[in-house]
Each structure stands twice: as structure tokens, then as C-alpha cells.
């Protein structure tokens, strides 16, 4: 449907979950006040028009689950207010724009587009799967400390056991108690006395 007069004051458009086909019209770039644009879950084909670089107020952009192809327009990297975007489940290829906004998105925002490449994509997807260095360092340090504590506990137990054993042995050998040297002597004397008596 062609509109005779485009309303430039629109701030949000949500056409998600329909069966729209064809290309996204280039005239979308005339909606200078647009802040949210959701075209997800349709059957759009072709490329994202570069005229979207004119949407300087755009904050949210979702074209996931369509049949879009080609490169993601580099002009989108210049939209400083663009905080949320989702390009997943399409047929995009080529370089991902290098704007800071793209580097703050989760890796899933570019998923199922095997043709996408670029340093921005590599940084986003590496950070999402790799724990921060401080966290890795903490885990390594924690495991090392636990191992050291275990060895210290084992050494203390071993030294304590050896000292206790030597002390007990020294006492027995030094004092030589009668019952230790001849545990059956007392019984033998009692037996001999009783035999003599009888």
C-alpha cells in the first residue's frame, strides 16, 4: 500500500509476526523521528536500505527471522542512540559495522548468519563465550590456594603423628614398666604362689 503522505512523526513501528514479503522500502529513511522499528518474523527479502542511516533517533531495530541478505549497512554504525538490534536468522554476509553500538550487542543478535565476518563480530562473540580474565585468574588462584592448604594440612597431620609416635615410644622404652616388659610375669607369679600353697 502506498501512502500519499508519510507521517514523519511516527516514533514506533511494529510489524512483527506477519507475512510481509518483498524489500524494506527505502522511504523508511524519511521517518526521522523513528525510535523503534520491529520488522521481525516476516518474509522480507533483499537488503536493508542504506537510507536507514538517516534515522538518527533510532534506539531499537529488529529484523530477525526474515530472509534478508547482503551486508548490514555500515551507516547503522553511525547511529549513536541505537542501543538494541537483532539481525539473527537471516542470510546476511560481509562485514559487521564497526560502531560501538554493535560491539555491545550479544552474540545471539547476529546468530544464524554464517556469512557475517569482521572484528566487531569476533569481539562480541569471543567476549560472550570467554570469561573475563579476572574471573579466570580468580578461579586459578582459588584452586592453587586450596591445593596448598590441602598439602599443609597433610604435612601437619604427618608431623603430629610422627611426634606423637616417637614420644609414646620414648616413654615406654625409658620407664620400662614391668607390665610392658613382661606382661605375663604377674600372672606366672600368682600361679606359682597358688601352686606352692596347695
CB atoms within 10 A of CB 197: 6
CA distance 183 to 189: 12
pLDDT in single tens digits along all 198 residues of the chain: 565 665 556 789 999 999 999 999 999 999 888 999 999 999 999 999 999 999 999 999 999 999 999 999 999 999 999 999 999 999 999 999 988 888 889 999 999 998 998 877 887 787 443 344 444 454 455 566 677 777 787 777 777 777 666 776 666 666 655 655 565 555 555 554 544 445
Predicted pLDDT of residue 138: 47
Contact (CB, 8 A) for 40 and 64: yes
C-alpha cell at 143: 584452586
Alpha helical stretches, state H, 6-132: 100-103, 119-129
Contacts 24+ apart (CB under 8 A), 131-135: none
Strands (E), 106-155: 115-117
Whether the predicted model's global pTM rises above the 0.85 cut:
no
CA distance 107 to 94: 16
Diameter over CA atoms, the chain: 139
Amino acid at each position: 500500500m502506498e501512502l500519499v503522505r508519510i507521517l514523519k512523526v511516527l516514533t514506533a513501528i511494529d510489524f512483527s509476526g506477519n507475512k510481509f514479503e518483498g524489500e524494506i522500502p527505502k522511504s523508511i529513511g524519511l521517518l526521522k523521528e523513528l525510535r523503534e522499528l520491529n520488522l521481525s518474523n516476516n518474509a522480507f527479502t533483499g537488503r536493508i536500505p542504506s537510507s536507514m542511516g538517516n534515522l538518527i533517533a533510532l534506539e531499537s531495530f529488529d529484523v530477525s527471522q526474515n530472509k534478508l541478505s547482503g551486508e548490514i549497512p555500515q551507516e547503522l554504525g553511525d547511529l549513536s542512540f541505537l542501543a538494541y538490534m537483532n539481525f539473527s536468522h537471516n542470510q546476511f554476509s560481509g562485514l559487521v559495522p564497526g560502531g560501538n553500538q554493535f560491539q555491545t550487542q550479544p552474540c545471539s543478535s547476529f546468530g544464524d548468519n554464517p556469512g557475517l565476518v569482521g572484528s566487531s563480530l569476533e569481539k562480541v562473540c569471543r567476549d560472550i563465550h570467554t570469561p573475563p580474565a579476572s574471573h579466570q585468574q580468580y578461579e586459578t588462584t582459588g584452586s592453587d590456594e586450596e591445593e596448598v592448604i590441602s598439602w599443609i594440612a597433610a604435612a601437619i597431620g604427618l608431623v603430629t603423628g610422627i611426634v606423637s609416635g616417637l614420644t609414646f615410644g620414648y616413654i615406654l622404652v625409658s620407664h620400662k614398666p614391668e607390665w610392658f616388659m613382661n606382661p605375663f610375669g604377674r600372672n606366672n607369679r600368682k600361679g606359682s604362689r597358688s601352686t606352692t600353697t596347695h
